[in-house]
Amino acid sequence: MKRLLGISFFVMTGLLLAGCGAAGGQAAAPSTPIPTVVAENVIIAEGRLEPVHYVDIAFNASGTVSEVLVSEGEQVSAGQVIARLENSEAKQAEVANAEEAFLKAQRAFDGAEAAALGKLAEGNESVRKAQQEYDNFDIPSEIADMGPRDGLIYTQGKLDEARANYDPYRHSQPNSRNAKEFKKRLDDAWAKYNKAIRWTTLEANLENALSELGQAQKEYDTLSNGSETGEKALAEAQFEAASANLAAARAALADVELTAPFDGTMAGLKVKTGESVSPGQIAASLADFSGWIIKTTDLTELDVVNITEGQAVQIALDALPEEVLDGVVLWIGQNYSEQQGDVVYEVTVALTEALPNMRWGMTTVVKFAE
């Protein structure tokens, strides 16, 4: 890590007095003042270029690779099979048999109760998804303790304030300092307001899902308590057993099939047909190159206190030093590590622009203006 501190100095030379032995007894002419030199007040760190999202994928079982279905550099979709082990055909047959048994058990239900049970299952799944989306939502820290509705009111007020502050500069020169600053504040306020709206929507979705689940449970309980409770209980037990068998068969198939967890590019293939693999052995790397980030662990405790999330930065790649890219501080690590006796922190920077010839792993220089 390199740190450039602002330095301002002015050097003036005095008049040279004639010495006793000076020729002609004339004083020397005054020297020209040296101009002020001002260095940039910035923090500079070295980082590494990474795709916005990537993962190493491994088989969950041991075996011999029977086929590799994609090539390195190929675009794949979430759920697409990348490679299979030799016993995958048997697992596929087990899944097919389990699916057939599951359908038979499902048809064994009385029509009304089967529909009620299906509605109950859908209600549970809706609640699960709504709860997961709500729990995983990235809530802005300044409204995290308020709750969705209070957060919405708060961000609405901040948005109104930012809009009012920017209005006087709306028709001024776009590159003026005040116009740019108030425009940035307005954009930030819009982003937080939209997040608050999303948070409120997720809460409403969860409440609706819970309400629908409660109604589905009530309807199912009413049907299950009828005169044919014994038969219905047997049919339900068969259905649940078939469902569990199907889930187990699919899980077993997933152990011998390597699938893409998200849309992306095959950044690396480490297996070939006929090779043996072990559980957990990395077989492929998948990356999403739609965006780029830079990670640096080059910032000491003296520097990280001068950096904030959302702060604008400039980036240059060692391989392309003539290109200067813009970025923003995305995340500052809360934990620390030690590097050659210094306490350092990991900082993640998101690039707001990219170059077509950038490559994963390139060394970068990140300039944080204080």
The verdict on residue 6 lying in a domain is: yes
What CATH code is carried by the domain that includes residue 328? Answer: 2.40.30.170
pLDDT of residue 267: 93
Q: At what angle are helices 229-256 and 88-108 packed, to 10 degrees?
A: 160
Q: Are residues 93 and 221 in the same domain?
A: yes
pLDDT of residue 19: 43
The verdict on residue 273 lying in a domain is: no
Total domain count, the chain? 3
pLDDT of residue 186: 84
Q: Are residues 159 and 184 in the same domain?
A: yes
The verdict on residue 271 lying in a domain is: no
Burial 73-99 (b: 16+ CB within 10 A, else e): eeebeeeeebbbbebbeebeebbeebe
CA atoms within 13 A on the CB side of 32: 2
Q: Are residues 180 and 210 in the same domain?
A: yes
Q: Are residues 128 and 11 in the same domain?
A: no
Domain that holds residue 244: 74-253
Per DSSP, the three-state class of 222 is: helix
The verdict on residue 61 lying in a domain is: no
The verdict on residue 92 lying in a domain is: yes
pLDDT of residue 314: 94
Q: Are residues 102 and 15 in the same domain?
A: no
Q: Are residues 122 and 196 in the same domain?
A: yes
pLDDT of residue 112: 56
Q: Are residues 237 and 109 in the same domain?
A: yes
DSSP secondary structure string for all residues of 125-188: HHHHHHHHHHHH----GGGTTT-HHHHHHHHHHHHHHHHHHHGGGTTS-TTSHHHHHHHHHHHH
Q: Are residues 109 and 186 in the same domain?
A: yes
Contact predicate 335/213, CB 8 Å: no
Q: Are residues 248 and 104 in the same domain?
A: yes
How many residues are present in the chain? 370
Cα–Cα distance, 277 to 269 (Å, whole number) = 13
Contact predicate 42/4, CB 8 Å: yes
Residue type (1 letter), 79? G
The verdict on residue 297 lying in a domain is: yes
Cα–Cα distance, 266 to 82 (Å, whole number) = 9
Give the pLDDT of the chain (370 residues) as one tens digit per residue.
555 443 333 333 333 333 434 444 455 555 666 655 445 678 999 999 999 999 999 988 888 898 999 999 999 999 999 998 887 667 777 778 878 777 877 776 555 566 777 888 888 988 898 888 888 888 888 888 888 889 889 889 988 888 888 888 777 666 677 778 888 888 888 988 898 898 899 889 988 989 988 888 887 777 666 544 555 666 677 778 888 888 887 777 777 888 999 999 999 999 999 999 998 899 999 999 999 999 999 899 999 999 999 999 999 999 998 999 999 999 999 999 998 889 999 999 999 999 999 999 999 999 997 6
The verdict on residue 93 lying in a domain is: yes
Q: Are residues 314 and 343 in the same domain?
A: yes
Compute the Cα dihedral for 257, 263, 268, 272 and give only its sign: positive
The verdict on residue 270 lying in a domain is: no
Q: Are residues 31 and 88 in the same domain?
A: no
Q: Are residues 97 and 189 in the same domain?
A: yes
Contact predicate 210/134, CB 8 Å: no
